[in-house]
Amino acid sequence: MLVNMKEMLLNADRDGYAVMAVNSVNMEMARAVIEAANEEHSPIIVQMGRSQMAKLAHAEDILPMIIAMAKRADVPVCLNLDHGPDFKTEVDAIHRGFTNVMIDASSLPYEENVRRTRIVADLAHASGITVEAELGHVGQAADGDGRSADMYTNVAQAVDFVQKTGVDALAVAIGTAHGKYPAGFVPKLDFQRLAELKAALKMPLVLHGGSGSGDENIRKAVAGGINKINVCTDAFHAAELAMKAKWEHEPETDYLNIMVTAESAIKLFVRDYIRMIGSNNRYIFDFASNGSKE
Ligand code: 13P
């Protein structure tokens, strides 16, 4: 079923688990992600960023297809605009059928972040669409971002931000970064800050830059109150590794089979990740009432 993020993340917050949000750039990826969630009886978030949509996942083509897949699923599926940069993109996303939008004004001055987020929250909520925003800034692993606390989320400011904007979920900066870290590097997360943020905000919190963060960090982050984890690079990587191995062992593999290989690898990766963050077996299809129940 296609849902917004509200109840999905409130349930995760109440029961202490996180929902995976996977950047999915084509039919095969979206299908792998949704099928993995279905088989694990887990809620799931399928998301796309603006540059991913511009490059490959053209919204007008791919959204109707993903919405249809989401509606057919036995588990709650949210369709999220990842890192929406401006009002035009947000309004377009709302009209096209995204059920959650992220507005990312986190690199702008605080008051401007508040102002833009508030407007997007008002617009989206009027259409039953939920909103995620970011405070502090989660940068790029390739630039060495995330290693110093200057970009981390300030607790008092976060309380003020949520009060003023009315967002449904807040992405916090506690030491992760987007993309690939240098080989062998595992980020050090500020769990003390996460504990303070959770205690002060008592709402669903989001971790961006899930890839390469290390299983132990991810498990601790979930235990510490993270309820949505964004994963992109590692999902692509799972497909890349499987495709390379397939070509190595079967150089004659054709296009069709290589696509099937990639899709299966992503599905396996997502199923494992879902179990790691504890969202499996949260929605079991109830044949008696002909509906899904928690
Ligand atoms: P990674 O590519 O590091 O997993 O980051 C994904 C993300 O946070 C998307 O918003």
Distance of alpha carbon 89 from alpha carbon 50, whole angstroms: 8
**The predicted structure's pLDDT at residue 288:** 62
Active site residue 215: no
Residue 292 has pLDDT above 90, yes or no: no
Residue 21 has pLDDT above 90, yes or no: yes
**Does residue 166 lie in a domain region?**
yes
Which residues form the domain of 240?
A: 6-293
**The predicted structure's pLDDT at residue 148:** 84
Number of domains in the chain: 1
**The predicted structure's pLDDT at residue 146:** 87
**The predicted structure's pLDDT at residue 286:** 61
- Determine whether 151 is exposed, middle or buried from the number of CB atoms within 10 Å of its CB (0-12, 13-18, 19+): middle
**Does residue 73 lie in a domain region?**
yes
Measured in Å, residue 106 CA sits from the centre of ligand 1 at: 15
Q: What's the full length of the chain, in residues? A: 294
Measured in Å, residue 216 CA sits from the centre of ligand 1 at: 18
**Does residue 1 lie in a domain region?**
no
Ligand 1 close to Cβ of residue 231 (< 6 A): yes
**The predicted structure's pLDDT at residue 291:** 56
What does the block give as tokens for 226? 């993270």
The amino acid at residue 13 is: D
**Of these residues, 13, 15, 82, 104, which one is catalytic?**
82
DSSP state of 182: P
Residue for token pair 């904007």: 165
**The predicted structure's pLDDT at residue 147:** 87
Query: DSSP letters along 176-208, please?
Result: --BSPPPTT--PPP-HHHHHHHHHHH-S-EEE-
* Closest by CA position to 66, among listed 93, 38, 29: 29
Measured in Å, residue 233 CA sits from the centre of ligand 1 at: 6
**The predicted structure's pLDDT at residue 131:** 98
Q: Which atom of ligand 1 is nearest to the CA of 211?
A: 4
* Closest by CA position to 6, among listed 130, 161, 172, 133: 130
Residue bearing the CA closest to ligand 1, atom 1: 209
pLDDT in tens, 48-105: 999 999 999 999 999 999 999 999 999 999 999 999 999 999 999 999 999 999 999 9
Confidence of residue 289 (pLDDT cuts 50, 70, 90): low
CATH number of the domain that 238 lies in? Answer: 3.20.20.70
**The predicted structure's pLDDT at residue 290:** 57
Ligand 1 close to Cβ of residue 232 (< 6 A): yes
Ligand 1 close to Cβ of residue 208 (< 6 A): yes
Residue 281 has pLDDT above 70, yes or no: yes
Q: Which atom of ligand 1 is nearest to the CA of 180?
A: 3
Measured in Å, residue 230 CA sits from the centre of ligand 1 at: 5
**Does residue 140 lie in a domain region?**
yes
pLDDT in tens, 215-271: 999 999 999 999 999 999 999 999 999 999 999 999 999 999 999 999 999 999 999
pLDDT in tens, 127-178: 999 999 999 999 999 998 888 888 999 999 999 999 999 999 999 999 999 9
**Does residue 21 lie in a domain region?**
yes
